[in-house]
């Protein structure tokens, strides 16, 4: 086993030979305990990256290494033990008739002993705050609860990497908050890396690193602060910047000097407070 990381080495991918490349020479590395947000306009190749990462697709060029193991037909089942994925539509990822059965499904596929499964079901459902719902039918849960169960099913297998592919896009604001809280909790308690593919700028500002995709290529990598301080360019490629970041720009234009690019209300308020008290 190599070091704990997902590495894309010069990866290119297209769905068919006569079709354009969806990914072109993409390289990046995601290390332990990182929270990486992948953003980009619709069709920029974000979801393809997710599918390549756990062997739902294989690249035509380049290679993908998970913990140093090359992802291919032979290694895909080992890879999937390490890379779990939550999809966009909460209704498309249930197989069990109860929440408990559903969480057990992934573990059964990996042939875990029963005692361990029982223990893991308890642990992972309580990690997402769904332990009260063990014998509920998944399809009767709210969207946010469904996604939390989907996350629990993945935690149960104890992967090193979890990919959330627009996992909050179909949820209402309350469901979104539930998922974000769950993710924060899980990331703090468990030793794992998160990869979130999202259009939600609030999610992006909370990540430790951002990979910006544009037309199948890695357009930029950096901290959320670095990415949003290049606003004009971010907007050029069809993305948006957070409200606070826009307001900060206009404040600067009004001659207010800010020490750094604010990412949230708190940061901007603190700067304004300092300015006001020194006036």
Contacts with other proteins by CB under 8 A lie at 40-43, 88, 142-143, 166, 169-170, 172-175, 199, 201, 238-240, 243-244, 246-247, 250-251, 253-256, 265, 268-269, 272-273, 275-276, 279
Question: Least distance in Å: CB of 89 to other proteins?
Answer: 10
| Structure tokens, 175 | 């469901």
Specify the residue, 55 or 143, whose C-beta has the smaller distance to other proteins: 143
Question: Least distance in Å: CB of 63 to other proteins?
Answer: 28
Specify the residue, 34 or 166, whose C-beta has the smaller distance to other proteins: 166
Distance CA 247, CA 245 (A): 5
Strands ordered across the beta sheet of 217-222: 83-86, 161-165, 193-197, 35-39, 209-214, 217-222
Question: Least distance in Å: CB of 240 to other proteins?
Answer: 4
Question: Least distance in Å: CB of 201 to other proteins?
Answer: 8
Specify the residue, 77 or 273, whose C-beta has the smaller distance to other proteins: 273
Nearest in space to 38 (alpha carbons), one of 172, 198, 228 = 198
Question: Least distance in Å: CB of 83 to other proteins?
Answer: 24
Specify the residue, 110 or 177, whose C-beta has the smaller distance to other proteins: 177
Specify the residue, 84 or 175, whose C-beta has the smaller distance to other proteins: 175
Specify the residue, 135 or 256, whose C-beta has the smaller distance to other proteins: 256
Question: Least distance in Å: CB of 235 to other proteins?
Answer: 8
On whether the CB atoms of residues 136 and 98 are closer than 8 A, the answer is: yes
């Amino acid at each position: 086993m190599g070091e704990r990381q997902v590495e894309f080495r010069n990866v290119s991918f297209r769905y068919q030979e006569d079709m354009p490349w969806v990914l072109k020479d993409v390289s990046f590395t995601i290390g332990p305990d990182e929270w990486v947000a992948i953003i980009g306009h619709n069709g920029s190749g974000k979801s393809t990256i997710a599918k390549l990462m756990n062997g739902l697709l294989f690249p035509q060029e380049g290679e993908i290494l998970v913990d140093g193991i090359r992802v291919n037909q032979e290694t895909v089942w080992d890879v999937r033990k390490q890379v779990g994925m939550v999809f966009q539509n909460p209704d498309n990822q249930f197989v069990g008739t109860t929440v408990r059965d559903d969480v057990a499904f992934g573990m059964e596929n990996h042939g875990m002993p029963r005692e361990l499964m029982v223990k893991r079901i308890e642990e992972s459902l309580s990690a997402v705050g769904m332990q009260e719902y063990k014998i509920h039918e998944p399809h009767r849960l709210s969207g946010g609860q469904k996604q939390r169960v989907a996350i629990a099913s993945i935690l149960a297998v104890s992967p090193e990497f979890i990919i959330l592919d627009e996992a909050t896009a179909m949820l209402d604001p309350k469901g979104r908050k539930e998922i974000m809280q769950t993710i924060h909790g899980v990331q703090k308690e468990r030793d794992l890396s998160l990869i979130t593919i999202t259009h939600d700028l609030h999610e992006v500002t909370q990540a430790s690193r951002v990979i910006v995709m544009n037309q199948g290529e890695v357009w930029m990598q950096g901290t959320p602060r670095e990415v949003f301080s290049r606003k004009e360019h971010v907007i050029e490629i069809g993305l948006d910047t957070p409200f606070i970041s826009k307001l900060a720009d206009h404040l600067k234009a009004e001659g207010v000097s800010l020490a750094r690019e604010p990412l949230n209300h708190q940061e901007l308020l603190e700067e304004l407070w300092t300015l006001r008290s020194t006036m």
